[in-house]
Chains A and B, each alone.
Chain A
């Protein structure tokens, strides 16, 4: 068995692990990082940027939001069910973290954005805040999906420059616990050889359990591939969480970071994008279940879908609406879906129907459509009738949906799409304090063990706060830094 030694060991090199490693290394700690993939950045390579509050960029963009206000907003949103001290420390640090990324690590930001604008009537309490710092791709291209890879790359390079040692394709199998304290890890390299690595502190940052159907079922009650169709990024199997538990860590509530999407999303991307409009949304009984003007908040919409019978929802469009979208573009513009999706809509739809993909369909009558999609026929017909009357009157008496979106469903052929509950990944699992030290069930610190990022992220309460966007990445970045700084303060103390 190979032996290694360091001041601090970081388990996995996703965003939280990278920021922990970079911070530890720049504080002079001998830093050892184990990553089971052969690339760094983990799920963050899919994102566009992190949250920051009080950053220089924000001030320059005239964003007045302060960390204190965001903290109050967050705590109001979570009903003070979460660790206020941790949220406070995270938010107050988040601005300086963005500045650090810019000034020290060399990450460029295109600016700060919000996820969506809330419908006018609801803005007072549900508008998105400008906290999302969008990363500029290297060389200055247009930011788009995956833009954050520029940040993970820069962080990797920076951590290496500062002396962090990355062991790639070398998963950690277990923590070494001696006399109640964590003193190292057992890892296995790609040839199957075991490594015993020892360090004063271990920071676990493995990114949750999005790819572990069994854990999803046991910890959240969802059934992967049946009641939830979440992003299952290979490797996110909850190993870090289990390692911490095995070392005596307490458990936190665990949730999926809910949104909604079509199964096999990659191969049905056009359909997924084209139907994401505030037209008519009904449940299996044919009943409307939310004001459709809210669908840009994918978390809330995912929650709403999750509480419908069969955990699914149906989006109904008619030919007139399709023509309108084709001609004038969609009502809600997506950042990620192709612009020409309505041009290729019919072609894609025909192909999906021919291939037997059962989540989209079309029919000449509503009755036939309901039949094909498995919606209650009478329920849908009655709902459409009522909805069309309200459209004619120009007012949604049921949910007071934004009147701009009140377009009747009257001209065949009619189109429908069955949306499912999705999730970006999992949230929570390991109980930590505001220094990210892992706690036992009764709140005692386990010496030498820290847990950061998604594995420890239980500050959102029951749902992701989309009004403060960039929060998943923001917590990963900042919790990684906070843990590494705490380790450094101990190693460097005299």
Chain B
């Protein structure tokens, strides 16, 4: 069992960690047994779906059964180890997984699909630097107007945050900061 994955820091998201672990595991590079190879594939794909807000209510239960079978039915120790590690993570970080699935919330803030970006109206000076940076044309506004992020266009890349010298752009989880729906003239 991989102990490192059972001692994650606050900055590490167990869903992402498990996804990357499965993706780069020896089992993903072998193919000799169904439970090792396809098991690793399903672990990776399911974790990826969870981070992309495409989780299903049955995911945890299904994966636990799968991992148990991986432990019992893999051809070699690699598959057994992956199954055991995943099982232990699903158990130890059950709350994190549940939060990802049920509330679309990532405590560590790693899952970008769960967060939104916002421009704080009090700090925005209407300079337009963020607009230039945004590749998705998701920021509305013009000179001297408080800029607003169009959430339906935003892909959560986060580039605007570093583009803003005023530190007016913030990431938010479940609780969103207040602000105008459309650009309005700056107060400052």
Binding site for B on A (CB under 8 A): 323, 327, 339-340, 343, 411
Q: Do residues B49 and A340 form an inter-chain contact, with CB atoms below 8 A?
A: yes
Query: Which of the residues B48, B49, B52, B136 comes within 8 Å of A323, measured between beta carbons?
Result: B136
Q: B136: nearest residue on chain A (CB-CB)?
A: A323
CA distance A340 to B136 in the complex (A): 21
Contact with A along B21-58 (1 / 0, CB 8 A): 00000000000000000000000010011001010000
Determine whether B73 belongs to the interface, using a CB cutoff of 8 Å to chain A: no
Q: Do residues B155 and A323 form an inter-chain contact, with CB atoms below 8 A?
A: yes
List 12 A-B residue pairs with CB atoms under 8 Å apart, sorted by A's residue number.
Answer: A323-B136, A323-B153, A323-B155, A327-B152, A327-B155, A339-B54, A340-B45, A340-B48, A340-B49, A340-B54, A343-B52, A411-B137
CA distance A317 to B135 in the complex (A): 18
CA distance A411 to B155 in the complex (A): 16
CA distance A323 to B134 in the complex (A): 14
In angstroms, how far is the closest chain B Cβ from the Cβ of A318? 12
CA distance A339 to B53 in the complex (A): 13
In the complex, what residues of A have CB within 8 A of residue B49's CB?
340
CA distance A393 to B54 in the complex (A): 34
CA distance A339 to B46 in the complex (A): 12
Contact with A along B77-112 (1 / 0, CB 8 A): 000000000000000000000000000000000000
Q: Chain B: interface residue count, which band?
A: 10 to 19
In the complex, what residues of A have CB within 8 A of residue B152's CB?
327
In angstroms, how far is the closest chain A Cβ from the Cβ of B37? 18
In angstroms, how far is the closest chain A Cβ from the Cβ of B159? 16
In angstroms, how far is the closest chain A Cβ from the Cβ of B59? 14
CA distance A411 to B152 in the complex (A): 16
Task: Give how many A-B residue pairs fall within 8 Å (CB-CB).
Answer: 12
CA distance A340 to B53 in the complex (A): 12
CA distance A343 to B155 in the complex (A): 13
CA distance A323 to B48 in the complex (A): 18
CA distance A343 to B152 in the complex (A): 17
In the complex, what residues of B have CB within 8 A of residue A327's CB?
152, 155
In the complex, what residues of A have CB within 8 A of residue B136's CB?
323
In angstroms, how far is the closest chain B Cβ from the Cβ of A340? 7
In the complex, what residues of B have CB within 8 A of residue A323's CB?
136, 153, 155
CA distance A406 to B165 in the complex (A): 39
In angstroms, how far is the closest chain A Cβ from the Cβ of B42? 13
Q: A343: nearest residue on chain B (CB-CB)?
A: B52
Q: B49: nearest residue on chain A (CB-CB)?
A: A340
CA distance A327 to B112 in the complex (A): 13
CA distance A339 to B48 in the complex (A): 13
In the complex, what residues of A have CB within 8 A of residue B153's CB?
323
In the complex, what residues of A have CB within 8 A of residue B52's CB?
343
In the complex, what residues of A have CB within 8 A of residue B137's CB?
411
In B131-166, the 8 Å CB interface with A consists of 136-137, 152-153, 155
Known: A323-B136, A340-B54, A343-B52. 9 other contacts (CB 8 A): A323-B153, A323-B155, A327-B152, A327-B155, A339-B54, A340-B45, A340-B48, A340-B49, A411-B137
In angstroms, how far is the closest chain A Cβ from the Cβ of B72? 20
Q: A329: nearest residue on chain B (CB-CB)?
A: B54
In the complex, what residues of A have CB within 8 A of residue B54's CB?
339-340
CA distance A327 to B153 in the complex (A): 9
In angstroms, how far is the closest chain B Cβ from the Cβ of A433? 51
CA distance A343 to B51 in the complex (A): 13
CA distance A339 to B155 in the complex (A): 19
CA distance A320 to B99 in the complex (A): 31
CA distance A323 to B135 in the complex (A): 12
In angstroms, how far is the closest chain A Cβ from the Cβ of B35? 18
In angstroms, how far is the closest chain A Cβ from the Cβ of B73? 19
In angstroms, how far is the closest chain A Cβ from the Cβ of B78? 26
CA distance A411 to B135 in the complex (A): 12
CA distance A97 to B12 in the complex (A): 58
Q: B138: nearest residue on chain A (CB-CB)?
A: A323
In the complex, what residues of A have CB within 8 A of residue B48's CB?
340
In angstroms, how far is the closest chain A Cβ from the Cβ of B143? 23
In angstroms, how far is the closest chain B Cβ from the Cβ of A197? 42
Shortest Cβ-Cβ A-B pairs, 4 listed? A339-B54, A323-B136, A323-B155, A343-B52
CA distance A339 to B136 in the complex (A): 23
CA distance A411 to B136 in the complex (A): 10
In angstroms, how far is the closest chain A Cβ from the Cβ of B111? 15
